[in-house]
Structure 1
Amino acid sequence: MTDEDRLVAAEHDGEGFDEQQCRLRLVVHDRDRYARFYTVAANPTLWFVQHSLWSLGTAPDFDHDAWTNGYVPVNERMAEATLAELELEPDALVFFHDYHLYLAPAIVRSAWPRLRSSHFVHIPWPESDAWTVLPEPERRGVFAGLLANDVVGFHTARWRRNFLRSCEDVLGAHVEGDVVEHEGRRMLVTARPIGVDPAELDALASDEDVIERERALVASRPEQLVVRVDRTDPSKNVVRGFRAFGLMLERHPELRSRVRMLALLDPSRQDIPEYADYVAAVEREAAALGDAVDLRIGDDFKRSIAAYKQFDVLLVNAVFDGLNLVSKEGPYVNARDGVVVLSENAGSHEELGEWAVSVNPFDVSGQADALYAALTMEPEERRRRLEAIRAHLREHDLAAWGVAQLEDLDRVRSGT
């Protein structure tokens, strides 16, 4: 929350207010508690657990203070705000999102038993053993919090399957199909991959600022352009991607003057040591490749759209990713029959894998071969794959995802 947000919250005495056709309530937290919540408990602890990033021989040392005096009170405050809004609109449906608020649903339900809520988890859900990084009380609290909802949603059948199995392992819950029974309640667990907004992307692709950035890219681009657009997050696997690109150039030196990688990276969570260290590693790897890599670190989404339009190959080699919207946004606006090289551990692989060139995120040699295969793919095959991805994205768009969330809650309410 910015200082400006705090001022706006104070102007409304912490109450909700109408803003752009919706009601908004800004929940102000003690700064020290929020720091424990966000920069220790949520990130990196939960984020690293769910993306399988911890090197368990050395890290982490579980931080009880950050959990007890950060994650728990922030969830309590968010639950209090939710309850205040339910007092004003008792029949409202409540939608919780992601790993920041795993405890809040149970707090709300204990005070509001007739709650109708859904919790969508946008990041991967690992297998049961990964959760032993959290001590048993905290581990059970995460699962019990999620199972206080009526619906728990994930982007893929893989993450849903892991969640269902771990509900049995961690809580001893009864699982039958896509329903979990726990403490006398039944919860529906769904797989609903989020889509893009085609109208928004169409508008962005023709935006004058995007076109201006695209002209600059065209003026300086080589014959072929490999693009990656990511945050500077260890889960995005940027370092291995650079190594793979360098290895491909070693194996195919005839491409050195004909292809370049453009890496557009948005700086992420630089107040967390693991993230700051990763940026340094990214910069070192890029420097080792010289002018074969054009590394740009900064927040410029319109530049990313321009790069999406111009890629010949889009590299998405995430270690693990709940979905990965880059793998959808990029091909949707691309103007060069570009090929997507996609990690098998990205959630979007479940939808797009048949039209992408699949890679194992840990296999640098395999990624190098995949980049070469994508760069040298026949034009007709490139076009066929891209058109298939676009057709899928138009059918399974953001609006359809929103409708599915409401339908799932209706399904629970009707008992079907």
Structure 2
Amino acid sequence: MRLIVCSNSAPRWQDCAGLLPRSPGGLVPLLATLLGEHGGDWVCTMPVNGPSRSSGGDGSLRATRRPCGGTPSVALDDGSVQATWPPGGGTPSVALSDGSVQATWPPGGGTPVGAPGDGSVEGPSAMPGDSPGQATLLPGDGTPSGAPGDGSVEGPSAVPGDSPVEVIRLPGDVTLHRLLLPRDVVDRHYETVGVRLLLWLFHYLLDTSRQPDGRLAEAWSGYEAVNRAYADRVATLMTGSPDEFVLVNDHHLFLVPEMLARRGGRRGRIAFFQGLPWCEPDYFGVLPAYIRDRILASLLCADVVGFHCTRWARAFLGCCARYLPGCAVDDGGVTYDGRRTRVTVAPFPLDVAAVERLRDEPATAEWRGRLDREGRGRRMIVRADRIDLWKNLPRGFAAYRSLLEREPGLAGEWWFCAVATPPGRPTERTLALQRECEGMVADLNERFGAPGRPAVSLIYPDLATTRHCVVAALSGADVTVVNPTFDGMNLVAKEALFLGERARLLLSVNAGAYEQLAGHVTPVHPFDVEATASAMLDAMAADDVPAGRAAVRRSLREQDANSWLNRMMGAES
């Protein structure tokens, strides 16, 4: 089998070790695991102003890499750029006819010229490396001229269709293809359509009094352009082999299956996986018809479409039946325009080995000590979320406030530990949400806390040890709250069941994980604050170990990345 995967998010990697991270789960770690085992190609990009991106004073983009070997040489050939670094790191050189200089690329494109003083080159999600890989910059769909290299190399912005592609070869027969796209196009694709339209649509968060608005048509052209750039790159990688499996992921790339299908002549399979929820037909109908119908028709150009749970799959089938005349829908899939698309349920697995590794690392022990000191011997209610609109943090804090108003003495016996990660690309709504959460925590502590003994703590771990903090908190929890309004999956719920020896898990019925875990959790209706408070109080009063915890942990251990891939490929039902 040969894998070609596509995602909007770029992975991190370490050149001696290959793809990173081995975190407990999610799309990027899952794809990293699969490619690490099977090899293949990964086509990806990241918003140009993402958290790992920086620029030089002249507006040029840089990438910094600390490799552990290789002869310093950068060849400039046919517009391509290849680099390696000396042992132990240092500054890369550029081999020119008149001697070595450092190189960068001007914001508008063109030939590499003298670089900032450190000669660094930086790309999104780049991780320091320890041995040479290969990095080649290709203008458009040119042929890689490939030379040993080890740094992330960024090139000039260009219009999609002539987009530079950064090719990075890693150990294990893994090749990354990072599309380097213009900022304005990426903003229209990612921010306007990806976040403000589709992300909010599938979580039932659109302000339908204003959205969609008149700016959507222009933004949609950027969405099409980025999808076309992905399809163009994937098409150059496809060989027509029957054992080829192309896996396209998430709402950023809805049009890629259609654009690949137009090329014809393929023999391998194309799959699409939707990590978000899928909304019901009435709400999906908020989209303009030209977008709504095209998304559906494009997905039906794939051989298989996968979801985290049956509920989202049925909603998708309902949308096909409602909006695509002539399609035939049954429980197993859709027949449309002369072809059959299988629809399957394939929930992401928890990487148990990664969880156990994190649990035993020194950074987790350090966080466990810090949390113990903060808790002052009290029992713990824990939640761990990114500050996203659908994670429903305010109602969780409101439920605890209601509980303390009934029984204020519980604040001396219990501590609510909320581990939070700020959103990577915040909108005005998520920034307002963060301020609201911080205000609610301050009010709870003023009313129910004591000096040196907060009733609630909102903890923002440093980036390097965020996962360690989460694992430490979930391991020590007595009650865990996972109450999203709607969520495609929510792997924190699986982590909580695996790590929590005694903790009761309160899980929203609108989380995709609920279908798989329903027999082992306390269900909560995420919009009902008082019912959540009552469920919280009942869980706090329970002293016994939850029934079936050993069985669910065994079940979680049996699931892995390959079993997920087999479900997508149809090898498992």
Q: Give TM class, smaller chain.
A: over 0.9
Q: CA deviation at 1:59?
A: 3.8
Paired amino acid for 2:220: T
Aligned to 2:469: 303
Aligned to 2:369: 215
Q: Counterparts of 1:324-343 in structure 2 under 5 Å? A: 324-335=490-501, 337-343=502-508
Task: Say whether the 8 Å CA contact 1:259–1:292 is kept in structure 2.
Answer: yes
Aligned Cα root-mean-square deviation (Å): 2.2
Aligned to 1:252: 407
Task: Say whether the 8 Å CA contact 1:9–1:27 is kept in structure 2.
Answer: no
2:179 to 27, 36, 41: 27
1:198 to 323, 348, 352: 352
Aligned to 1:363: 528
Report the CA distance shift for 1:169/1:62 in structure 2 as closer, same or farther (over 3 A). Answer: farther
Aligned to 1:100: 252
Task: Say whether the 8 Å CA contact 1:36–1:71 is kept in structure 2.
Answer: yes
1:350 to 505, 515, 536: 515
Secondary structure class of the residue paired with 2:412 = coil
Q: Which runs of 5+ in 1 are unaligned?
A: 412-416
Instruction: After the TM superposition, list the runs of 4 or more consecutive aligned residues in structure 1 that deviate by more than 6 angstroms.
Output: none
In structure 2, distance between residues paired with 1:229 and 1:373: 21
In structure 2, distance between residues paired with 1:279 and 1:271: 10
Q: CA deviation at 1:74?
A: 0.8
Report the CA distance shift for 1:398/1:329 in structure 2 as closer, same or farther (over 3 A). Answer: farther
- Give TM-score scaled by structure 1 length: 0.92
Q: Counterparts of 1:223-302 in structure 2 under 5 Å? A: 223-290=378-445, 291-298=454-461, 299=463, 300-302=466-468
Secondary structure class of the residue paired with 1:209 = helix
Q: CA deviation at 1:255?
A: 0.9
Alignment pair present for 1:126 and 2:279: yes
Alignment pair present for 1:182 and 2:353: no
Paired amino acid for 2:259: I
Q: CA deviation at 1:328?
A: 0.5
Larger Rg: 1 or 2?
Answer: 2
Aligned to 1:110: 262
Query: Residue by residue, what CA displacement relative to the aligned partner does 1:46-90 show, whole Å, maximum 9, x if unpaired?
Result: 011101112323444253245333211111111111111115978
Q: Which runs of 5+ in 2 are unaligned?
A: 1-45, 47-52, 54-60, 62-121, 125-151, 157-162, 446-453
Report the CA distance shift for 1:44/1:13 in structure 2 as closer, same or farther (over 3 A). Answer: closer
Task: Say whether the 8 Å CA contact 1:269–1:275 is kept in structure 2.
Answer: no
Secondary structure class of the residue paired with 1:345 = coil
Q: Counterparts of 1:375-394 in structure 2 under 5 Å? A: 375-380=540-545, 382=546, 384-394=547-557
Report the CA distance shift for 1:331/1:370 in structure 2 as closer, same or farther (over 3 A). Answer: same
Secondary structure class of the residue paired with 2:532 = helix
Aligned to 2:482: 316
Secondary structure class of the residue paired with 1:365 = helix
Paired amino acid for 1:214: R
Q: CA deviation at 1:185?
A: 0.5
Secondary structure class of the residue paired with 2:235 = helix
Alignment pair present for 1:8 and 2:150: no
Q: CA deviation at 1:251?
A: 1.6
In structure 2, distance between residues paired with 1:60 and 1:15: 34
Segment of structure 1 superposing worse, 8-17 or 387-396: 8-17
Q: Counterparts of 1:9-158 in structure 2 under 5 Å? A: 9-10=154-155, 14=165, 16-21=167-172, 22-61=174-213, 63-87=215-239, 92-114=244-266, 115-158=268-311
Q: Which has the higher helix share?
A: 1
In structure 2, distance between residues paired with 1:402 and 1:59: 36
Paired amino acid for 1:374: A
Q: CA deviation at 1:354?
A: 1.6
Q: Which has the higher strand share?
A: 2
Paired amino acid for 2:380: L
In structure 2, distance between residues paired with 1:30 and 1:112: 29
In structure 2, distance between residues paired with 1:287 and 1:15: 46
Task: Say whether the 8 Å CA contact 1:313–1:338 is kept in structure 2.
Answer: yes
Report the CA distance shift for 1:163/1:61 in structure 2 as closer, same or farther (over 3 A). Answer: same
Report the CA distance shift for 1:5/1:66 in structure 2 as closer, same or farther (over 3 A). Answer: farther
Q: CA deviation at 1:45?
A: 0.9
Q: CA deviation at 1:288?
A: 1.6
% identical equivalent positions: 31
- Give TM-score scaled by structure 2 length: 0.68
In structure 2, distance between residues paired with 1:47 and 1:255: 38
In structure 2, distance between residues paired with 1:386 and 1:251: 31
Secondary structure class of the residue paired with 1:193 = coil
Task: Say whether the 8 Å CA contact 1:313–1:375 is kept in structure 2.
Answer: yes
In structure 2, distance between residues paired with 1:13 and 1:50: 32
Q: CA deviation at 1:388?
A: 3.3
Query: Residue by residue, what CA displacement relative to the aligned partner does 1:144-178 show, whole Å, maximum 9, x if unpaired?
Result: 11111000000101111111111111112211231
In structure 2, distance between residues paired with 1:63 and 1:260: 46
Segment of structure 1 superposing worse, 365-374 or 1-10: 1-10
Query: Residue by residue, what CA displacement relative to the aligned partner does 1:64-117 show, whole Å, maximum 9, x if unpaired?
Result: 245333211111111111111115978521000111100111001111342511
Q: CA deviation at 1:398?
A: 3.5
Task: Say whether the 8 Å CA contact 1:342–1:356 is kept in structure 2.
Answer: yes
Alignment pair present for 1:397 and 2:560: yes
Task: Say whether the 8 Å CA contact 2:350–2:560 is kept in structure 1.
Answer: yes
Task: Say whether the 8 Å CA contact 2:382–2:477 is kept in structure 1.
Answer: yes
